[in-house]
Structure 1
């Protein structure tokens, strides 16, 4: 059976959320059509939830229970519930014990401790996120941080006296580390800054040493590439443990404080190794099943409580998505699921890696998927898939859209334009603020490179979601002579109206990247596709979720109206039970075949 879009979208995938001390893994599976919790143990997969939308979860240490985070139809207002284990049948919403239920606000599970959960919530003012520790037994809550900002990461010290957390710093895509005394003698002693808020640096993946003497953090403070350092919680002094001049590194500290799992980002391919946490010395490589990816946007690796294993989420160009369990003693990564069995003899196309020259001497990282047997109708056509973010990266993971486009006969280019992560601080900062259109200009450079691949530049289209949707619309508006069609999924049509109408907590976070409504309104308007809609000459296909809290539906409606006013073809499809993207398979099966038919019609030779 050929790898058509319907079959590709029906492929199930798995990811790992947590591991317990008995060798069980709390996983997510989308076999039912949206990601639901499944427990993997002794070769058996036991379904745990059957909720209307996608969920995530964590085990409760020392108990047979899990905390479930769920929302309503993609509105991202996460609610937290307790799921008792084991289960004889998947739990519906009424089978869960409410922990934090307030559907008007956002709640995010940050950590699960014995008898307690740590979560963030914006219920105080709808904008800032406070950190709360809640007893699972009594329901008693204690706010340990209410200093403002979007809390990104929290690690509670082993003695529970301190919480280290990260909040946005002043420069775009930067974080600062705060140390919070959870039992302060005075308010003045409550919060201490461990890093400079003006430092243009990432600080992620916080982990405490078992004796509370230090924190392990992934950071690029003073460097272009991220490395792993020890941070003194008394002085903020940083000591580097593992660094690389060529790759961004990330690190996760084992609960016993002895081992670091180190992830090297090798042009969108994951390279894993285990290091000694005291010296940083490499001990052994982790052998993955194939070249692929096990980092964001997949769930982060998670250590078992006994530090003997790590649960990983893994995907590759020919691997839809599996849960792996790493034996720390040997470095072997054992697959707990086998998503490739669904493919049979029909192997997906693997991408080749390129560097595309630009107008100013830079080189854009780009993957190219080439159809092995292009049909006469689509031979020579090209589709560029632009990732969201912008602080994200296209990686060597499975993409049903890329594979479906290739199966349809199009060459597919997947670039990491300016603003993409994974290639150092200089590259991801190259589109900040008033440099926004430099990333858009990269699309023109990619278009100019198409003849080098033997492709017809007159039959090239753009595809992208979220910020990638903005790039699609910007390409059509700023480079109308280059693009034959566009597919925009939950994209931004006006940076100005997006910031005005997005959720208040999102606005406070995103103005650092795009510019301030107060200080940069003129540029935001200038860089908006809607402001140049009169120049668009290509047909457009638009998908959006009605409950999107990040990019409001009005962004899709206003660009569709402007394009239709020109007499151009513009199909707008809105899904009432979706948010920022299409999380439900039924909706993807409705939307994406239509989008592919649209592109085939407009890119035919």
Structure 2
């Protein structure tokens, strides 16, 4: 992923051609971009400046960037851009806790806005006031704190089992607007004033609802997560409805207000388009397409893309497991009845209505593709995402087994199922193959966890505490962590496995894949390990994707072919 500039008429100028993925923000009032980038997927983000006036004749490489905040040993993540200064968060003080820093561009002087500890996941800044969101020690929960003038105030309690995100300051006030499931199952839009008075602006008993306030505080962009896709509307500052924003495609939205609050830039990532860019005029209601994500596709490819159907799969205990189904557009010889289950990472995440070249390619190859949101997944309320916490971890594994029994309902053959997953999804793949052997035709594990013990021992120090809140701690839960680790049951595994990993992965170390490869080699179970020296937690580079993904497709086809 690289930076591209769009002018008001939609003309495009490529700005960067860096060796890895990057992102960026304009500096207000200047034709300069703050570029955020890392080294080979190591997630140690660095900040640089790129002058785009005049527009570059060729995209910028690393040597064309002006270093702004650089130290390759630590994370420097961009929080905000303001006139004459940037705000970022960094773990350089002790490698674990994140501080929030303001850097003056002209002098290079820096001031600390927040350094009171914790893993800072999100920051919103208004002048010298920062609303800081931290991962708390409760599973899938956050704490909100307000930092101002060297003083830190707790907006929410550290032990509150609730998720508060995104959190936004109303400019010029000490009032916050945020999406929170405090005391609720689904997240509602709430307003919290300086006296800690909570007011619910908008709520649903069926969907998570979040808000993006306009810079002048006059409007709220309301986003409803409905079955993994986003529905948009403009509401007033007190939650009253004003207008819906009709989207052509049902997908996942990113959005940003213009500084004058007159326009919304909207990105839509949907199953049938890798990314549309829209511009919404709040005064006229006009919605204009700046980028059609399908315009570079051939008509044949565009017509072949599948919008999945949603189903609820019955589980062993009466629960219903949400699942998307991608059905093959046409039969492929030897593949009728074959099934691939693509399991998302997280675990506190959701498979959503987004573009997936993997799902589309698998369906085009003739497989029924199932994308489940097993217990532990977000988007279906706090009760559902709490049903795999710590000692309940293996309940999510049993959900996959339950889905196997259901696959004849969509024309699938239970004896020809391949499991595919990345990160925590890779853990679930390995757990199913080892704990429930003989049920699966093949497994593809992308940067997955093979032992919860060695994973927690070797993951990056700043991530260990937040991972222990979900899986259990090395100090208190080691026995269960061993019980819930795929490596413990490797003696029973007999399924061919393909493993892909990045050598620079700071989250799930390469050793997690190396140790399962070595154990399977000793046991005589077919296992292929592909390692990319210039990747981290997943595959960011097109060349590597074009190498690994076709290899995975071929491997799956070979194992499930009738």
TM exceeds 0.5? Answer: yes
Counterpart-to-counterpart distance in 2, 1:560 and 1:550: 19
Query: Is residue 2:440 matched to residue 1:471?
Result: no
Counterpart-to-counterpart distance in 2, 1:480 and 1:330: 60
Aligned to 1:339: 293
- Tell me if structure 1 keeps the 8 A contact 2:136–2:466: no
2:416 to 435, 441, 459: 459
Query: Is residue 2:235 matched to residue 1:275?
Result: yes
Aligned to 1:20: none
Counterpart-to-counterpart distance in 1, 2:293 and 2:458: 40
1:349-393 Cα shifts (integer Å, max 9, x gaps): 221110000000100000111113222301001000000111111
In the superposition, relative to structure 1, how do residues 131 and 213 fare at CA in structure 2: closer, same or farther (>3 Å)? closer
Greater alpha carbon shift after TM alignment, 527-536 vs 312-321: 312-321
Structure 1 unaligned spans of 5+: 1-34, 185-189, 295-299
Aligned to 1:312: 266
Query: Is residue 2:96 matched to residue 1:127?
Result: yes
Greater alpha carbon shift after TM alignment, 85-94 vs 371-380: 85-94
User: What secondary structure sits across from 1:440 in the alignment?
Assistant: helix
1:209 to 170, 173, 176: 170
The residue correspondences of 1:172-571 to structure 2 (distance < 5 A) are 172-181=139-148, 183-184=149-150, 190-233=151-194, 235-277=195-237, 279-294=238-253, 300-341=254-295, 342-346=297-301, 347=303, 348-571=305-528
Aligned to 1:156: 125
Counterpart-to-counterpart distance in 2, 1:327 and 1:478: 54
The residue correspondences of 1:566-585 to structure 2 (distance < 5 A) are 566-585=523-542
Counterpart-to-counterpart distance in 2, 1:161 and 1:587: 43
Q: Displacement, 1:335?
A: 2.1
Counterpart-to-counterpart distance in 1, 2:125 and 2:333: 60
In the superposition, relative to structure 1, how do residues 211 and 435 fare at CA in structure 2: closer, same or farther (>3 Å)? same
Counterpart-to-counterpart distance in 1, 2:16 and 2:554: 35
Q: Which has the higher contact order (CA 8 A, sep 6+)?
A: 1
Counterpart-to-counterpart distance in 2, 1:170 and 1:54: 31
- Tell me if structure 2 keeps the 8 A contact 1:293–1:396: yes
Q: Displacement, 1:213?
A: 4.1
Greater alpha carbon shift after TM alignment, 454-463 vs 344-353: 344-353
User: What secondary structure sits across from 2:42 in the alignment?
Assistant: coil
The aligned length equals: 556
- Tell me if structure 2 keeps the 8 A contact 1:286–1:332: no
1:522-557 Cα shifts (integer Å, max 9, x gaps): 111110101111111100000000000000000000
Q: Displacement, 1:481?
A: 2.1
Counterpart-to-counterpart distance in 1, 2:313 and 2:241: 34
Query: Is residue 2:123 matched to residue 1:169?
Result: no
Query: Is residue 2:72 matched to residue 1:103?
Result: yes
Q: Displacement, 1:343?
A: 3.6
1:428-453 Cα shifts (integer Å, max 9, x gaps): 11111111001111000100101122
- Tell me if structure 2 keeps the 8 A contact 1:293–1:314: yes
Counterpart-to-counterpart distance in 1, 2:511 and 2:136: 30
In the superposition, relative to structure 1, how do residues 335 and 237 fare at CA in structure 2: closer, same or farther (>3 Å)? same
Counterpart-to-counterpart distance in 2, 1:422 and 1:202: 12
User: What secondary structure sits across from 2:234 in the alignment?
Assistant: strand
- Tell me if structure 2 keeps the 8 A contact 1:127–1:508: no
TM-score (norm 1): 0.90
In the superposition, relative to structure 1, how do residues 519 and 343 fare at CA in structure 2: closer, same or farther (>3 Å)? farther
Structure 2 unaligned spans of 5+: none
Counterpart-to-counterpart distance in 1, 2:167 and 2:26: 19
1:73 to 35, 40, 45: 40
Counterpart-to-counterpart distance in 1, 2:100 and 2:174: 23
Counterpart-to-counterpart distance in 2, 1:576 and 1:83: 27
- Tell me if structure 2 keeps the 8 A contact 1:289–1:333: no
User: What secondary structure sits across from 1:36 in the alignment?
Assistant: coil
User: What secondary structure sits across from 1:152 in the alignment?
Assistant: strand
- Tell me if structure 1 keeps the 8 A contact 2:113–2:129: no
- Tell me if structure 2 keeps the 8 A contact 1:247–1:265: yes
1:319-344 Cα shifts (integer Å, max 9, x gaps): 12122222223444322112212141
Q: Displacement, 1:114?
A: 1.2
- Tell me if structure 2 keeps the 8 A contact 1:285–1:331: no
Q: What is the Cα-based RMSD across aligned positions, in Å?
A: 1.2
Query: Is residue 2:1 matched to residue 1:40?
Result: no
Counterpart-to-counterpart distance in 2, 1:39 and 1:194: 38
1:96-155 Cα shifts (integer Å, max 9, x gaps): 121100001111111111111111111111111111111112110011211111111112
Counterpart-to-counterpart distance in 2, 1:580 and 1:176: 26
Q: Displacement, 1:568?
A: 1.2
Aligned to 1:32: none
User: What secondary structure sits across from 1:339 in the alignment?
Assistant: coil
Counterpart-to-counterpart distance in 2, 1:237 and 1:563: 57
TM-score (norm 2): 0.97
User: What secondary structure sits across from 1:132 in the alignment?
Assistant: strand
- Tell me if structure 2 keeps the 8 A contact 1:195–1:236: no
- Tell me if structure 2 keeps the 8 A contact 1:287–1:332: no
Aligned to 1:7: none
In the superposition, relative to structure 1, how do residues 475 and 343 fare at CA in structure 2: closer, same or farther (>3 Å)? farther
